[in-house]
Amino acid sequence: MSAVDEHAGRPARRGSVQNRLAAMLATTSTALAAPGAELTGAAPPVATPPPAASDRAQLLERLRRLMRVAADEAAARATPVSPQTELLSPETVWGEPGLPAGTIVENRHGPCYAVRDIMPLPVTYGISELGDLLRDVSRELSFLLGEGAPDEAPSLSRAVFLDTETTGLSGGTGAAAFLIGLARFRPGGGELELLQLVMRDYDEEPAMLAEFLAFLEGADLLVTYNGKAFDWPLLASRLISNRLSAPAPALPHLDALPVARRLWRLRLGGCRLVELERPLLAVQRVGDVPGYLIPNIYFDFVRGIDRGGLRQVLYHNRLDVLSLMGVTSSALSLLGAAFSGADTPLDGATALDLLSVARYLAAREEPDLAIASYRRALGALGQLRERWQGEVELGRLLLKQGDTAGATASFRDGVGALHAWPDALTAADFEVVDELAKVLEHRHKLVPEAAAAVTSGLTTLADRLRACQIGAREAEDLRSRWDHRLHRLKCKAEGRRWY
Amino acid sequence: MAGPDTLSLMLGEEERNRRIEQAIAELKLDYAERVTESRRTPAVPAKTAPFPQDLRPDLRDALRQRGVTSLFTHQVETYRRALAGENVVITTPTASGKTLCYNLPVLQRLLCDAEARAIYLFPTKALSRDQMAELHGIVGIQGLKEEGETGGAGDEEPLAPLAALGAYVYDGDTPQDRRRAVRQHARIVISNPDMLHAGILPHHTKWTNLFQNLRFVVLDELHQYRGVFGSHLANVMRRLRRVCAFYGTQPTYIASSATIANARELAEKLLEAPVSLIDESGAPRGEKEIALYNPPVVEPRLGLRRSHLAETVDLAERFIRRGLQTIVFARSRLHVEVLARELQERLPRHPVESPLVRPYRGGYLPKERRALETALKNGELRAIVSTNALELGIDIGSLDVAIISGFPGTIASFWQQAGRAGRRSTTSAAILVATSSPLDQFLVRHPDYFFGASPEQALIHPDNLLILYAHVRCAAFELPFQSGESFGAEDLEGILAFLEEQGVLHFKNGKWFWTEDSYPADHVSLRTVTSDNFVVVDQAGGGDGKPQIIGEVDFSSAPTTLHEKAIYLHGGVEYQVESLDWVGRKAYVRRVRSDYFTDAITYTKVKILDVFAEERSIRRALVEHRGQAAVTMAHGEVHVVSQVVGFKKIKFNTMENVGAGDVTLPENEKHTTAFWLTLESSLWEDLPFGRAELIDGLLGMATLLHTLAPLILLCDALDIGVTVGEDAEGWCEPLGRGLPSARLRPVQTSADADPAAFRPTLFLYDSFPGGMGLAETLYVQHQRLVRDAVARLQECECEHGCPSCVGPINWSGARSKAVATRLLERLAAILAGRHDEPVPSSWR
């Protein structure tokens, strides 16, 4: 830099961080000012360099000051500041009540903590019998796995159920899984093994991950709840960060969350694991810890601030793994019932679930199974709104399969139900009228009947408009659509051009 | 003057040359007094070299298909050095084929090594899109198909086919469903520093393919990475190197930059590695006339000149009417609109009724730009009026004349804008039309600043504690720090200990682990301009009477422009601020008719915390003062507190002060670095000025030095704060818009009794907390700064001050100019050692 040359030989007195900080303190606090340290530029205030420890302290002080100014600005912007956690002694003495009884396992990466439970079957969880997962569910599993299914008949005898607890965030390299909850059936099938791997501190992560990989050896299926979006990518990221390799080729992965949404959203609404436990498994958690608290519980544990809270997290994770197994079992049962076609009487709830199954099957191109499930479900739905929504869907599916008569019957049932329907109707509910008219006109060539169907729709609309959840505008659209259809049908019946 | 019929013609080369020479000659003849300088840069023939021997045949063919049969020497040099693993920075002029400089070695390497990958970083998204189109053009590679499975072909063939090279943009606009495919298949990832910082590095485990095989990192428009942005980028590069080291790679860096004084130094500071400079262009250039044009003085006493906008229109019309294609650069969007409208009115329309002149605004899509380019090529369009949006490497083809309306702020920008005119074989012209700002007025009289070596230094300060701290957090999130690791020049373990104390990190077994449930990068913006803006809400709103947002003001300007009762000017309309919601970041305004505007009065107190270096000079002439300094120059760390305390009402046109008001706003404080200049009594006590006049003079000096400083610092005037006062408990002078007559009360200082104790000091400080190195450079360069300021004062024609020197006469006090001139002359003499000499600071 030529500018420097101009001033060559003139010593710049730019000091070290420590000196800068010292001067900063000297001008702000007289107590700390060394005599003669005024801005005379004479001798530096301290003859010998200060010891490293005080350098550090000074840098810390400077950072605190800078941050305070920055924080003041931030406070003016009303950004909430995360609460400052007081740091206690980081001394970690294992053996204090913090975790349930377990063992320290060691591998070539070092130690980590493992809580292992081996339970002889049967194991009852709520109303669910977890051992039932070992029955032949190859058909159901093949269906659920779709293209990811292995060639030979899959089973759950060598599946690993997985759920992790993490330090928060939904991704990014700064998030870690500190607890890996695992379950599998022991070879021979007589026992259920639960294993919770815990890193008691961050340096145990590689060992914990290595144990996890060892547990996966011999497994042929991974079952998780939201694991495709969350647990597995996070673990894959942690493996890379710790220079460990994920199993190759990748294990087939059954994520039960999207399955649960298909099967139970209609009936239950929310499909978080805890929301399914009570209705499906009759399990009620007591004293469970809310998920959002878990990262801080772990941080407190690691820092030695509070080592007691982690026990609850292990409990929470254990319930998550068991519920995952229970919900998986429920899903397989529900599908199994549809596949077997067993004609057992259905209550309203089961009928709704079966309707969901029917829709799932239809979406996955299993029309025969879907039609059978629709029929059974609709038969038991009675006067539920889903009834003729299902009829319309079934009718459309039947049409696609070439069963015109069946479709017509479905649509007729639907239109019939419209008249008798006690509750408010929506515009979508009336689509069944159009479907019936179309099938009568085009497939059966019964133009007058088609016109009659439309007329009945108009009548129902007029009768029920007051009770309908239909806006004036929507009703007008509906009416003009039908008027137009009616006009066209009349023209057609009279053999003249309608246009 | 050529008739309008010529407007629709496209000119042949010879004819164009004839016309431009004629236009230049006429300009010099007609306005001999206004053209302060006109120089011609000679034509330079091309220096070419054959394709390198090892250049792959498919790449050769691709180049030949585009009409490239040989390369320029600098392209070959970059190719050789980059492939040999040398980091390079290229500073050849605009339109010298810089893009090919980096594309060539990157493509060669990627074709020879089927796994190799590269990252291209551009400062703007528009540039990214442009360069992707350019790359796809060279190699005929296609954009990512929805199925996007082309990448797999590399497995069977040892050499990847050219068409299989995926070059994709990955930035905030990339749809979520495409990102995964880009991560998997892109061989060249085109992005920006912000995305690398917040979208790629924190998720590096999803990018293993990229980082394990990263061979090249390309940084275009390197000179943009200066100040706060550059200091952030240097830290992002530290993080990138850390992540690459984790995956075992060490990429080569290829950078390109506009011509600045310290391109290589900047690159080495940004990359913290040796970098070779390639600055000898092999590209041909036609002759170019560079003219500096100063609008005529219309009111000599007040130093008022004719508006540079009006002059720009006149000049542009001259050239456009001759059928010469012209680009006009204006300094703001508003000016672009005004100039374009005026030119459209003056010029006839094209036979097909499309205007001959069109404004260009930022944010045009490549397709729209192509349309403009085509219109330029076929003669439908004669001129473009643009902001600096077209200054960056976005290609719109070459034109005959560039008219730069107002100095664009940096000499590097000036040359980039001037480079938009210039064809390889014919003459072109670039004309700077000066505004009345001191900087413009200085430059039109000192052309050597343009033609000599660039004085501008891009400064960065990657170890600014606040910035470093932010990136240590980000880096700790990406990979745990280990004992003994280094990151920046400060004590890393000290910062880590601080983060541990804050509960952000946890130390265990030699490593610091991230223990916070948040993404640190999300809270760090690399750009100075934060998203933390104030919105301006018009209460009455549009036609429907609903409140309507009419503008945005950045955080630092809000106190001075949006305080209650302020007149806020927007689109030429006056609004009055009715209330300011400081916490909610909203200002509620209502339209008013007002014959005045408001000027906020700010108190800025500076307290010196530490002196990094200082220099005391004495006046040799004063024997009785031997040993006593006359002036002290220094730089160091300071504490700055500023507060808007009131405002003045200034009448439009007459600039009369017609009233005042109080304002209560929170104080704004920061630690930063400053350069200062203290006038000791021995400098001024024998001058025939009173105390108040001395301060007027000092304020005038402050105005002048503040506007001239960016010439050395390659920064915006807003990056530097200025104030006049005494250190610590002493008085400080209220400033309105950097101008003084805001004085609310008579000057009272701690030293009314003892003149020797009165030590007025002029501070120029870094606006960004912690400083960007601006203060230190000003300290090192203070002789130049003072010398330039003296020259400006001596040559300014006004009598008692004007906007082009110490500020308009009404604002700076009657004798401001006279006092400032005497003080600065004396200062310059002392510093130059003519009849006074500086002495080392230790001798006192």
B402 and B264, same domain (yes or no): no
* Mean pLDDT to the nearest integer, B537-542: 79
Give chain B's length. 844
Helices (H), B479-518: 492-501
Residue in B493, B507, B514 closest to A174 by CB = B514
Nearest CA in chain B to A84: B502
B519 and B626, same domain (yes or no): no
User: In this model, does residue A223 exceed pLDDT 70?
Assistant: yes
B406 and B548, same domain (yes or no): no
pLDDT at A39: 31
- Least confidently predicted of A211-215, B197-201, B311-315, B708-712: B708-712
User: In this model, does residue B707 exceed pLDDT 70?
Assistant: yes
Question: Please, which residues have CB within 8 angstroms of residue B367's CB and are 6 or more apart in sequence?
Answer: none
* Mean pLDDT to the nearest integer, B187-196: 94
Nearest CA in chain A to B500: A87
Residue B783 is encoded by which pair of tokens?
């002789």
* Mean pLDDT to the nearest integer, B384-394: 74
Q: Do B506 and A236 touch (CB under 8 A)?
A: no
Q: Is A290 on the interface with B (CB under 8 A)?
A: no
B691 and B767, same domain (yes or no): yes
Q: Is the dihedral of CA B794, B798, B800, B805 positive or negative?
A: negative
Q: Is A363 on the interface with B (CB under 8 A)?
A: no
pLDDT, tens only, B796-837: 877 777 778 887 766 667 788 888 999 999 888 888 775 444
- Least confidently predicted of B114-128, B141-155, B502-516: B141-155
Q: Measured between alpha carbons, how far is A438 from A431 in angstroms, rounded to an integer? A: 11
Q: Do B491 and A4 touch (CB under 8 A)?
A: no
Residue A408 or B746, more confident: A408
Query: Which residue do the tokens 């006046």 mark?
Result: B619
Instruction: Mutate one of B266, B474, B516, B530 to test the A interface: name it (highest A CB count within 10 A).
Output: B516
pLDDT at A76: 45
Q: How confident is the model at residue B222 (pLDDT cuts 50, 70, 90)?
A: very high
* Surface-to-core class of residue A496, CB atoms within 10 Å of its CB (0-12 exposed, 13-18 middle, 19+ buried): exposed
pLDDT at A141: 92
Question: Please, which residues have CB within 8 angstroms of residue B250's CB and are 6 or more apart in sequence?
Answer: B241, B244
Q: Nearest CA of chain B to the CA of A297: how many Å?
A: 11
Contact A214, A152 (CB under 8 A): no
In a domain, B243, yes or no: no
> What is the amino acid identity at position B720?
I
Interface ipTM > 0.85: no
In a domain, B64, yes or no: no
Q: Do A60 and B637 touch (CB under 8 A)?
A: no
pLDDT at B812: 66
In a domain, B61, yes or no: no
- Mean pLDDT, chain B, rounded, equals 81
pLDDT, tens only, A270-280: 899 988 988 88
Contact B418, B433 (CB under 8 A): no
B379 and B401, same domain (yes or no): yes
**E strand or H helix at A196:** strand A191-198
Residue in B515, B532, B637 closest to A299 by CB = B515
Helices (H), A42-145: 52-76, 138-145
pLDDT at A14: 38
Residue in B491, B503, B515 closest to A84 by CB = B503
Question: Please, which residues have CB within 8 angstroms of residue B182's CB and are 6 or more apart in sequence?
Answer: B144, B168, B170, B174, B189
* Mean pLDDT to the nearest integer, A440-450: 85
B470 and B376, same domain (yes or no): no
Q: Is the dihedral of CA B519, B523, B527, B530 positive or negative?
A: positive
Q: How confident is the model at residue B398 (pLDDT cuts 50, 70, 90)?
A: confident
- A chain contacts of residue B776, beta-carbon cutoff 8 Å: 14
> What is the amino acid identity at position A473?
R
* Mean pLDDT to the nearest integer, B400-428: 86
User: In this model, does residue B13 exceed pLDDT 70?
Assistant: yes
SS3 B318: helix
Q: How confident is the model at residue A65 (pLDDT cuts 50, 70, 90)?
A: low
Q: Do B614 and A87 touch (CB under 8 A)?
A: no
B361 and B497, same domain (yes or no): no
Q: Measured between alpha carbons, how far is B832 from A366 in angstroms, rounded to an integer? A: 93
Q: Measured between alpha carbons, how far is A222 from A210 in angstroms, rounded to an integer? A: 17
Residue in B205, B503, B515 closest to A167 by CB = B515
pLDDT, tens only, A159-182: 999 999 999 876 788 899 999 999
B604 and B567, same domain (yes or no): no
Q: Measured between alpha carbons, how far is A333 from A341 in angstroms, rounded to an integer? A: 12
Q: How confident is the model at residue A53 (pLDDT cuts 50, 70, 90)?
A: low
Q: Nearest CA of chain A to the CA of B17: how many Å?
A: 40
Q: Measured between alpha carbons, how far is A32 from A201 in angstroms, rounded to an integer? A: 39
* Surface-to-core class of residue B106, CB atoms within 10 Å of its CB (0-12 exposed, 13-18 middle, 19+ buried): buried
User: In this model, does residue A68 exceed pLDDT 80?
Assistant: no
Q: Measured between alpha carbons, how far is B149 from B143 in angstroms, rounded to an integer? A: 12
B294 and B439, same domain (yes or no): yes
User: In this model, does residue B147 exceed pLDDT 50?
Assistant: no
Q: Is A167 on the interface with B (CB under 8 A)?
A: yes
* CATH number for the domain running over A103-333: 3.30.420.10
Residue in B490, B501, B585 closest to A87 by CB = B501
**E strand or H helix at B418:** helix B411-418
pLDDT at B397: 64
User: In this model, does residue B366 exceed pLDDT 80?
Assistant: no
Query: Which residue do the tokens 């001394």 mark?
Result: A91
* Mean pLDDT to the nearest integer, A132-145: 91
Task: From B162, B179, B159, B161, select the one nearest B170 (Cα to Cα).
Answer: B179
CB pairs under 8 A between A and B: 173
Pairing state between β B48-49 and B71-72: antiparallel
Name, of A38-52, B213-227, B634-648, B654-668, the range with top average pLDDT.
B213-227
Residue B750 or B393, more confident: B393
Break chain A into its structural domains and give their ranges: 18-76, 103-333, 403-499
- A chain contacts of residue B608, beta-carbon cutoff 8 Å: 27, 39
Q: Nearest CA of chain B to the CA of A53: how many Å?
A: 10
Q: Is A15 on the interface with B (CB under 8 A)?
A: yes
Q: How confident is the model at residue B181 (pLDDT cuts 50, 70, 90)?
A: confident
Task: From B63, B416, B109, B428, select the one nearest B256 (Cα to Cα).
Answer: B416
In a domain, B56, yes or no: no
- Least confidently predicted of B191-195, B575-579, B679-683: B679-683
Residue A30 is encoded by which pair of tokens?
């007289």
B713 and B767, same domain (yes or no): yes
Name, of A56-70, B148-162, B657-671, the range with top average pLDDT.
B657-671
Residue A42 is encoded by which pair of tokens?
């004479």
pLDDT at B625: 54
Residue B535 is encoded by which pair of tokens?
């919105």
Task: From A95, A106, A235, select the one nearest A165 (Cα to Cα).
Answer: A235
In a domain, B629, yes or no: yes
**Domain residue limits at B589:** 534-594
Beta bridge partners of B482: B511
* Mean pLDDT to the nearest integer, B21-47: 90
- Least confidently predicted of B225-234, B523-532, B604-613, B788-797: B523-532
User: In this model, does residue A322 exceed pLDDT 60?
Assistant: yes
pLDDT at B810: 62
In a domain, B293, yes or no: yes
B664 and B794, same domain (yes or no): yes
Helices (H), A305-446: 310-340, 348-363, 367-381, 386-401, 404-420, 431-438
In a domain, B67, yes or no: no
Q: Measured between alpha carbons, how far is A477 from A460 in angstroms, rounded to an integer? A: 15
Domain count for chain B: 5
Q: Is the dihedral of CA A38, A40, A43, A44 positive or negative?
A: positive
Q: Is B517 on the interface with A (CB under 8 A)?
A: yes
User: In this model, does residue A375 exceed pLDDT 80?
Assistant: yes
Provide the angle, in degrees to the nearest 10, between the axes of the packed helices B465-478 and A52-76: 90
* Surface-to-core class of residue A21, CB atoms within 10 Å of its CB (0-12 exposed, 13-18 middle, 19+ buried): buried
* Mean pLDDT to the nearest integer, A130-151: 86
In a domain, B53, yes or no: no
CATH number at residue B381: 3.40.50.300
Q: Do B469 and A6 touch (CB under 8 A)?
A: no
- pLDDT over 90 percentage in chain B: 27
User: In this model, does residue B843 exceed pLDDT 70?
Assistant: no
Phi-psi region of A287 (alpha: psi -120 to 50; beta: other; left: phi over 0): left
* Mean pLDDT to the nearest integer, B528-537: 67
User: In this model, does residue B269 exceed pLDDT 90?
Assistant: yes
- pLDDT over 90 percentage in chain A: 29
* Surface-to-core class of residue B528, CB atoms within 10 Å of its CB (0-12 exposed, 13-18 middle, 19+ buried): middle
Q: How confident is the model at residue A385 (pLDDT cuts 50, 70, 90)?
A: confident
User: In this model, does residue B394 exceed pLDDT 70?
Assistant: no
Residue in B261, B495, B511 closest to A202 by CB = B511
* Mean pLDDT to the nearest integer, B534-553: 77
Give chain A's length. 499
Q: Measured between alpha carbons, how far is B548 from A90 in angstroms, rounded to an integer? A: 55
User: In this model, does residue B57 exceed pLDDT 60?
Assistant: yes
Q: Nearest CA of chain B to the CA of A278: how many Å?
A: 30
